[in-house]
Amino acid sequence: MSATSTLHPPGRLARFARLCWRRKAASAGALITLLMLLVAIFAPWIAPHDPNEQDILSRMAGPSADYLLGNDTYGRDILSRIIWGARVSLFIGVTAIGAAMVIGGTLGVLAGYFGGKLDRLIMAVMDMLLSFPSLVMGLLVVAVLGPTTLNLIIAIAFTAIAPFARIARAPTMAVKQRDFIEAGRALGYSDLRIMAVHVLPNILDEIMVLGSLWLATAIRTEASLSFIGLGVRPPTATWGGMIRDGFENMLDAPGLVIYPSIAILIIMVALNLLGDGLRDATDPKLRHE
């Protein structure tokens, strides 16, 4: 009301709201990702039916009041299976990318920090890993180790280590040249401490951006592996597995394939929007726009 209240600096919440408004796409991406995560975590309470409960009478039935998205070939509730599928997809994606981030990030920082022979060795191995398309790599690992959830995580993590090593290495080399690293050495800090306390926080934003973008890729790889039958074993609900199951009857009941596809599409778009937003937010050139 009064003039003083308009001069009052905006609170944290107001500033956050303004920031979200200015970055609508990124905020939408973050919101959808968050919702998906909540759905995945609370699947047992949200899902209207048991995902494996078969209602033989409503095989391939269309949407109804009881089964909002209809039923699959075995009469299972598609909506419940999508909700439980989110759990599998996100769990595998998040753990695999988390592992790749830690392993790849560590290798990249080591390579960038020490340079020389170690750098050449690490990057040669990373280039080798990069030369495999991620699906082929995933196929290879799962085929060798067998299709369990853990192996699937290992396979996907393997495909993502190289990009994280690369993205960590370049800024490490740049940060290493900065004066505060030399100043840290003059204070007697060991290489390990400099890498962990002084290099890592300075390159973390770039790793996080890549993380959100690669989470989308990981979910897609998981879906692809499930689609070709190398994913988590049935009857566990996974999005890729649902598309595979529905594939044969696609023409009779398009919902079998369309709904899980839409679920994959939504999470992919959301994660990409989030990643782009993070990239813009951490890019000093765009920060003040």
Partner 1 sequence: MPPIRSYAMNNPTQRPILSVENLTTEFRISGQWHPAIRDLSFHVQPNETLAIVGESGCGKSITALSIMQLINKSQGRIAHGRIEFDGRDLTACSEREMEAVRGDALAMIFQEPMTSLNPVMTIGFQIAESVRYHRPVSKREANKRALELLELVKIPSAARRFDDYPHQFSGGMRQRVMIAMALACEPKLLLADEPTTALDVTIQVQILALLADLKETKQMGMVFITHNLGVVASIADRVAVMYGGRIIEEADVVSLFEHPTHPYTEALLKSMPRVDQPRTALHPIAGQVPPITVDMPGCRYAERCPLREARCDVSVPPLTPVAGATGHRVRCWVRAPSPMLEAVAS
Nearer to partner 1, 22 or 185 (CB): 185
Smallest gap from residue 195 Cβ to partner 1 (A)? 13
Q: Does 190 bind partner 1 (CB under 8 A)?
A: yes
- Binding partner 1 (rule: CB under 8 A), the pick from 198, 220, 244, 279 is 198
Number of residues that bind partner 1 (CB under 8 A): 18
First and final C-alpha spacing in the chain: 30
| Contact call for residue 179 and partner 1 (CB under 8 A) | yes
Identity of the residue, 108 or 184, whose beta carbon is nearer to partner 1 in the bound complex: 184
- Is residue 186 close enough to count as binding partner 1 by CB under 8 A? yes
Q: Can residue 284 be called a binding residue for partner 1 (CB under 8 A)?
A: no
**Interaction pattern, residues 78-117, with partner 1; x per rule: CB under 8 A:** --------------------------------------x-
Contact between 202 and partner 1 per CB under 8 A: yes
Asked if 24 touches partner 1 (CB under 8 A), the answer is: no
> How many CA atoms lie less than 13 Å away from 68 in the CB half-sphere?
9
Q: Bridge-partner residues for 71, per DSSP?
A: 77
Should residue 188 be labelled a site residue for partner 1 when binding is judged by CB under 8 A? yes
Considering the complex, state which of residue 139 and residue 168 has its C-beta at the smaller distance from partner 1. 168
Query: In the complex with partner 1, which residue's Cβ is closer, 20 or 281?
Result: 281
CB of 178 to partner 1, least distance (A): 6
**120 makes contact with partner 1 (CB under 8 A):** no
DSSP string, the chain: --HHHHHSPP-HHHHHHHHHHHTHHHHHHHHHHHHHHHHHHTHHHH-SS-TT---GGGTT----SSSTT-B-TTS-BHHHHHHHHHHHHHHHHHHHHHHHHHHHHHHHHHHHHH-HHHHHHHHHHHHHHHTS-HHHHHHHHHHHH-S-HHHHHHHHHHHHHHHHHHHHHHHHHHHHTSHHHHHHHHTT--HHHIIIIIIHHHHHHHHHHHHHHHHHHHHHHHHHHHHTT-SSPTTS--HHHHHHHHHTTTTT-THHHHHHHHHHHHHHHHHHHHHHHHHHHH-TTTTT-
What residues numbered 147-166 form the site for partner 1, per CB under 8 A? Answer: none
**Residue 201 C-beta: closest distance to partner 1, Å:** 5
Stretch that binds partner 1, among 10-18, 22-30, 191-199, 219-227 (CB under 8 A): 191-199
The residue ranges that bind partner 1 (CB under 8 A) are 116, 178-180, 182-190, 193, 197-198, 201-202
